[in-house]
A and B are shown apart, each in its own frame.
Chain A
Amino acid sequence: MFIRLESSSAVPIYRQIVDQIGYQIANGTLQAGDRLPSVRELARRLPVNQNTVLKAYILLEGDGLISRRQGDGTFVADAPPATKKTERLKQVAGILGQAAAQAVHFEISRPELHQLLDEEIEKLTNGGRSP
């Protein structure tokens, strides 16, 4: 499992861990039943405080994305598709939230913003990113 922490980011570290593991589960890099590193192991590897990793794992467990089995380890949960869908929506909502904040800040109207989004999707579906 690959996690890259951004030390200068304003996003708290436990959040970065939650987001990146959630993202990898949502896009299928991590599959149901995959074992995650133990709290100690991941803490040492990153390196971050063990309590930070524990906090991230507890949040992921609360979202139904992983399950922690006492004495056995931590695994990607056999998440119902709904959970995965929710997780995917959450990931995209996060990015759109930033875009929306920028748009408001630059005084871009809603229709303009919607059109920009449509154009971006259009680029992806009509044969690649190049114009």
Chain B
Amino acid sequence: MSNFTADIRIEGLRKSFGGQDVLRDVNLEVPAGSIFGFLGLNGAGKTTLIRILLGLLQPDAGRCAVAGIDPQVQPIEVRRRIGYMAENQTMYSWMRVKELIEWVARFYPAWDATSAEDLRKQMRLDPDQKVGALSKGQTSRLALLLALAHRPKLVILDDPTLALDPIARRDLLRDVIGHLQNQGITVFFSSHLLYEIEPICDRVAILHDGRILRCAPVDELREKVKRLVFQSSDRIDVAKLAGLLDIQSYDSQLAVTVEDVAATRRALGPILPVREVDLNLDEIFEAYVIGRREAPHA
């Protein structure tokens, strides 16, 4: 495939539950040191893929390497090497913050108590507070601390902002930039909100219906995916448009969203659109996920 060093490499991964395909032939590479946005609607298969990466689930076919290790062969080693944070992580609510930190530390041979203490101070967590009494924002900071204190070079965040209010969400994204990107840690950040991960990510992959629909640098998505508006009288042959994501027809106009605007314009030759519309990332995501690819009836 490509020649950068990848911290996660996934090839031909498949998984089904009770005859229902959840992942169908997923291929993905996460470059070392990048912040990688893993985007999909709830139920798209994100968590299933992450559970396979952590060695908690066996795939039906395909293989993957996480930080150079095959999670199917060495699941415990993978979980020791990487950091993991989920949205609804169970934490022992009756413990105090410092007790939970000490308890989790025992599972990690590489735990760094000094670094854990530094993080605790930076994240403004009171060591004597009961975990059950923390706010959601504080709980997410504690979960991030627990995922980082063994100094992993790869961290997987599974929809970490799902239950957070906008301020706690922003704080968490700030921590991802300030603590993780600063230290060159690779971040695999899953989310169902494109506008949320766009600002902090280098690359985004869109998972839908068990497949990766597109994997690209964020700016490239914005530069290439556009909506073109034509007069219906131009009689565009939509069946021939490559990389077509969505078609909508209005009174006398036809709006098509395409994957690569330059390629489409070349293919159309002399036919010029009335307008070329820039899209924000939520609109791009929507075009991929719920776009209509068939010509409307006249």
Residues of A within 8 A of B (CB): 5, 7-14, 40, 43-52, 101, 105
Contact = CB atoms under 8 A, between A and B. Distances in A.
Q: Is the interface of B mostly helix, strand, loop or mixed?
A: helix
B260 interface: no
A23 B202 CA distance: 26
Which 4 A-B residue pairs are closest in the complex by CB-CB distance?
A: A10-B278, A48-B199, A47-B174, A44-B178
B280 A50 contact: no
Contact of B181 (A7, A8, A43): A43
Interface in B183-201: 195-196, 198-201
Contacts, number: 58
Given A5-B199, A8-B195, A47 B170 contact: yes
User: For this complex, into which size category does the number of interface residues on chain B fall?
Assistant: 20 to 34
B177 A43 contact: yes
A14 B280 CA distance: 14
A49 B200 contact: yes
B20 interface: no
Contact of B199 (A40, A49, A101, A105): A49
Contacts of B95: none
6 contacts: A7-B195, A10-B280, A49-B177, A49-B201, A49-B202, A52-B199
Q: Which of A5, A7, A9, A45 has the most B CB atoms < 10 Å from its CB?
A: A7
Contacts of A105: 275
Nearest to A12: B222
B211 to A, nearest CB: 26
A12 B219 contact: yes
A13 B199 contact: yes
B292 to A, nearest CB: 21
Contact of B177 (A8, A9, A13, A44): A44
Nearest to B222: A12
A47 B182 contact: no
Q: Which of B177, B195, B219, B223 has the most A CB atoms < 10 Å from its CB?
A: B177
Nearest to A41: B178
